[in-house]
Amino acid sequence: MCSIMGYCSPSAVYEVFMRGFQRTISRGPDASKVVDTGEGYLGFHRLAIMGMTTSGMQPFQLDDSYVVCNGEIYGFEKWKEELKEKYVFKSESDCEVLLPLYQEYGVEMFAMLDAEFACIIYDGKTREFIAARDPIGIRPLFYGYDKDHAIIFASEAKNLVGLTDKIMPFPPGYYYKNGTFICYCDIAKTENVCQDDLETVCGKIHDKLTAGVEKRLVADAKIGFLLSGGLDSSLVCAIAAKKSSRPIRTFAIGMSEDAIDLKYAKQVADYIGSDHTEIYMTPDDVIGSLDTVIHLLGTYDITTIRASIGMYFVCKAIHEQTDIRVLLTGEISDELFGYKYTDFAPDAEAFQKESQKRVRELYMYDVLRADRCISVNSLEARVPFGDLDFVKYVMAVDPKLKINTYGKGKYLLRHAFEKEDYLPKEILWREKAAFSDAVGHSMVDYLKEYAEKIYTDEEFEHLRKTYTFARPFTKESLLYRSIFEKYYPGQAEMVVDFWMPNKEWSGCNVKDPSARVLSNYGDSGK
């Protein structure tokens, strides 16, 4: 994971730029560099993953143009091969291909990339800045305007606090050019419904996810895996274990007294033969981490904060106790194949519409959580379920096959990996437990109890009404919002709303985002 920033104005003040830029040095602790393009500053904090030598340091320069990129460009070798007759490559870095690609194809290049990335380009010929973000938003990018209306781009919202009045997330699948944001890929949109039959669909899901995992195993730095014991992370680990010549390293976290998933994570680890580490957290850890976690996240969303606490602590332990630099995770599966609450979808069309909405908003929630918890600990996140080819295919599958008519959620994903003994049957077919619940039901209970002690009912009603956007609706949500405002005053619109079940569906009009409150939670938490 790296950090990038661009202050796109010849009037930019270096000291002001640096004040914001230095706030995310943990994303790239290996080296830092800032260039003055003559039209503004570009900065890069490096976490070396590909091309570990100094020749891989950014900003990359080609003639009078520069680029900074936080990303992984998959299949970059083929681009270097294609372009080597015209360009001399000086490093093993994947991102070095970006400026040659830009010179050859212009902004059309962004739709050609198989990548998770955020980048800022300075075009030395036109003397303008171009920025872009991957179609899911796996790599973060924010922007704002200074008092002279100059645009500023940065990896995190915290870079821009005090430099702009309004901080906004850069929309995924867009590029910025000539003052305009242009969509180059709406990954949730499906032109034609895929008519493959069930077995063909499952076969392609198997092959495409396997390919997505395999390409993410390529790194010059050491790789680890977050393993919750749930279906998604377990599948990623199982595929990686089959593709690796030595035992992979897996990590799981739970509350000290009632971690639901630690036993399942260990069962998976034993089955796939991984080198497994368990990490525990206490009630004091949970409460004591709230300020830190909300500051690093830049959100007040209940689901995101709850799920981030465990992820933050497990990543912190990995950073402090190992030399691992890359982590593979299981995010994005839910948005593609369904949550517990999508079992309540009234029909296949409603399921698909909800899936599209969630995929388009992922960058504000689960994807944000994974990026921040991992990057603040100087690690890089890779998300196989976010593989572009995989996502495009699953989104195109007939929603009549994806909706839960099987008596088991995520049936397509489970069935796709049923034949080759990737996982024990009780793991492959186990009911889902939300990550924030699975680290221990007591964690969420502690948070609710803590918030109840802070506010009386009268204080809650008074204070919640001081917010007009995304108004807090529980004492816990008020607590999170008050901490958020301390670090990001007046920036609540960075997040569109609370991540909650679709209240329009029967059975989903609930006041807590936990799947535990749904009538179909079943044996998920056992």
| Residues assigned a catalytic role | 2
Burial class (CB in 10 A: 0-12, 13-18, 19+), 30: middle
The set of residues, in sequence order, having a beta carbon less than 8 Å from that of 52 and lying 6+ positions away, is 92, 220, 221
Contact 265, 276 (CB under 8 A): yes
Instruction: Output the 3-class SS for 275-316.
Output: EEEEEEECHHHHHHCHHHHHHHHCCCCHHHHHHHHHHHHHHH
The residues that bridge with 169 in the sheet, in sequence order, are 142
Contact 142, 169 (CB under 8 A): yes
CA dihedral 296, 297, 298, 299 (to 10 degrees): -150
Structure tokens at 85: 């007759």
The set of residues, in sequence order, having a beta carbon less than 8 Å from that of 139 and lying 6+ positions away, is 70, 71, 116, 117, 118, 133, 155, 371
Identify the DSSP state of 107: G
The set of residues, in sequence order, having a beta carbon less than 8 Å from that of 286 and lying 6+ positions away, is 255, 309, 443, 446, 447
Q: Measure the CA–CA gap between 117 and 102, rounded to whole angstroms.
A: 15
Q: Measure the CA–CA gap between 111 and 325, rounded to whole angstroms.
A: 28
Residue 144 amino acid letter:
G
Instruction: Output the 3-class SS for 458-481.
Output: HHHHHHHCCCCCCCCCCHHHHHHH
Q: Which residue in 298, 290, 283, 284 sits closest to 476, CA to CA?
A: 290
Residue 11 DSSP SS3: coil
Q: Measure the CA–CA gap between 423 and 63, rounded to whole angstroms.
A: 52
239, containing H or E segment: helix 231-243
Using DSSP bridges, classify how beta strands 326-328 and 380-382 pair: parallel, antiparallel or unpaired.
Answer: parallel
Crossing angle of helices 475-487 and 441-454, in 10° steps, is 80
